Amino acid sequence: MTTTAPEALDLQRAARDHLWLHFTRMGGYRDGEVPIIVRGDGCYLEDSKGKRYLDALAGLFSVNIGYGYGEEMGEAAAAQMRELPFYTNWSYAHPRAIELASEVASLAPGDLNRLFFVSGGSEAVESAWKLARQYYSARGEMRFRAARVPGQRVEPVVDFDAMEALQQSSRRRWKAISRHIAYHGTTMGALSINGIPAIREPFEPLVPEVHHVRNTNRYHRPAGESEAEFTAFLLDELEQTIEAAGPETIAMVIFEPVQNAGGAFTPPEGYWRGVRELCDHYDILLCADEVITGFGRLGAWFGSELYDIRPDLMTIAKGLSSSYAAIGAVVASDRVMEPFMEGTRMYSHGITFGGHPVQAAVALKNIEIMRRDRIVEHVAGTQSAFRATLEQLLDIPIVGDVRGTGFFYAIELVKDKETRQTFDDEECETLLRGFLSPALFERGLICRADDRGDPVIQISPPLVAGHQEFDQIVSILGDVLAEAWTRLHR
């Protein structure tokens, strides 16, 4: 039977009865209160009871300009609604999609010049993998055609080496390589790329075949290991994985510039240069998943620029519109685009809302605001003060590590700072879910207590945050973490 919405809806009750929250143990809301957020301004949110929260997670690492630009963004959306509320990117273009593609291409490093729009990060990752898969067959067709010059008599003498090389480079490829504990989204392809066993297992069998390699977590590496040794160790493992999987079958290596899940793993010196070299050596496309790191989070427009990654593909979403609109994209280099520009070939993929004009208008306005209000420069200029403030937390015994860069940090919690001993599953459950998350929320701080890897608190505020917010984050976290330590030793 259909339930009709009552005139004055009891939001709490209706939320319990009808809304299905993502990644949420709904059983907890059978009797418990669903938190209902009703408005936002700057770095702050307000719930249905009028309580304010500092959003130190920027929504989901995504409201880069904060919550205070609704008027301007709304006007851009309304103007677009009046002019052209919808048209598709299936065979047609429209001004906002063209302008947004040009704008992002001008910001993106190197020859990342072509945008394929989608509705979010998972679709971007999904589309990047499909594109990488199709790229090799499209490129092969292009090369075979180039080898057979029309109208020319076939040479009776065959160069077998050249033929072999041609065949190798034109084989279909389908595999992907990503890193342990990395999160890349939830659609079946993107989910398969994820390196988090707990979110993969319920949906197995997944899309074959993804191989996972080590991430750049340094915290639990041997104490004496140098940066160069760590880099060599990681690259060696990546190369062995490529060799074992068969280089001629691998379409894509996909890593985040700084890995989020597990807790803001920054790359060691020389890591990205080495990854790029291996991809070049084995002729594999390199995709930088910039769904979080893009649009200023690391104090540069893109992590690819910061670390000189030179990817062939980049996936973007979240910060592209500061989450005021549901839009993402795959950004492809000229090299990846080339085979698709020949003859009748096309990338056989599309999504109704890809490049939606209203979403594109909002994303354009977001970039205009970011440029005008010098948001990326603000992150670059205040990031060391932010880090220094966060590092005060290292005085608390439960805080083992503070790591990250830009406005993208994780605090790793440990049982013993000396041995870096971590918590077991049961302790994580009582500490993170049972105490920390509710205590932080209660104190008016939204950040994430995460145990997809070792337990961490993730901090990723809107990029408009300043000293006042840095201090507030550390003051609340300091109190709550100190109490967590006391509880552990009761």
Q: Tell whether residue 120 is a contact of ligand PLP (CB under 6 A).
A: yes
Residue type, 229: E
Q: How far is CA 75 from CA 81, 82, 96, 245, in A?
A: 10, 11, 15, 51
Report the alpha-carbon distance of residue 179 to residue 195 in Å, rounded: 6
Give least dist CB 328 to ligand PLP, A.
6
- In the complex, what is the shortest distance from the CB of residue 91 to ligand PLP, in angstroms, rounded to a whole number? 26
Minimum Å gap between C-beta 451 and ligand PLP is 16
Q: Name which of 62 and 389 has its Cβ closer to ligand PLP.
A: 62
Q: Interior CA angle at 106 toward 112 and 314, to 5°?
A: 30
- Cβ proximity of 106 and 364 under 8 Å: no
- Only segment of 115-123, 137-145, 147-155, 481-489 that touches ligand PLP (CB under 6 A): 115-123
- Complex with ligand PLP: residue 292 or 309, whichever CB lies closer: 292
CB of residue 126 vs ligand PLP: minimum separation in angstroms? Answer: 9
Give me 201's structure tokens.
């297992």
Structure tokens at 179: 């890193």
In sequence order, the β-bridge partners of residue 118 are: 328
Select the residue interacting with ligand PLP from 40, 66, 109, 121 (CB under 6 A).
121
Phi, psi of 481 (to 5 degrees): -70, -35
Q: Minimum distance from CB of 335 to ligand PLP (Å)?
A: 23
Instruction: Please name the helix (run of DSSP H) or strand (run of DSSP E) that holds residue 232, with its range, or none.
Output: helix 227-245
Contact between 445 and ligand PLP by CB under 6 A: the answer reads no
Residues facing 176 on adjacent strands: 210, 252
Q: CB nearest ligand PLP: which residue?
A: 121
Between residue 179 and residue 238, which ones bind ligand PLP under the rule CB under 6 A?
A: 183-185
Q: What CA–CA distance (Å, rounded) separates 115 from 261?
A: 26
The nearer residue to ligand PLP, 339 or 461, going by C-beta atoms, is 461
Distance of closest approach, residue 65 Cβ to ligand PLP, in angstroms: 17
Asked whether position 317 contacts ligand PLP by CB under 6 A, the answer is yes
Give the pair of three-digit tokens for residue 272: 């990205």
Give least dist CB 469 to ligand PLP, A.
22
Number of residues that bind ligand PLP (CB under 6 A): 14
Neighbours of 385 (CB within 10 A): 12
Binding to ligand PLP (CB under 6 A) within 278-307 occurs at 289, 291-292
Shortest separation between residue 446's beta carbon and ligand PLP, angstroms: 16
Site for ligand PLP in 241-270 (CB under 6 A): 256, 260
Nearest CB to ligand PLP, comparing residues 120 and 195: 120
| CA–CA separation, 329 and 216 (whole Å) | 26
Tell me the closest approach of the beta carbon of residue 215 to ligand PLP, in angstroms: 12
- d(CA 50, CA 373) in angstroms, rounded, equals 29
Query: Where do the DSSP E strands lie in 186-327?
Result: 210-213, 250-255, 285-289, 313-316
252 or 291, CB closer to ligand PLP?
A: 291
Q: How many Å is the Cα radius of gyration of the chain?
A: 24
> Which member of 64, 122, 170, 458 binds ligand PLP (CB under 6 A)?
122
**Should residue 170 be labelled a site residue for ligand PLP when binding is judged by CB under 6 A?**
no
Q: CA 129 from chain center: how many Å?
A: 15
Write out the residues near ligand PLP by the rule CB under 6 A: 60, 120-122, 125, 183-185, 256, 260, 289, 291-292, 317
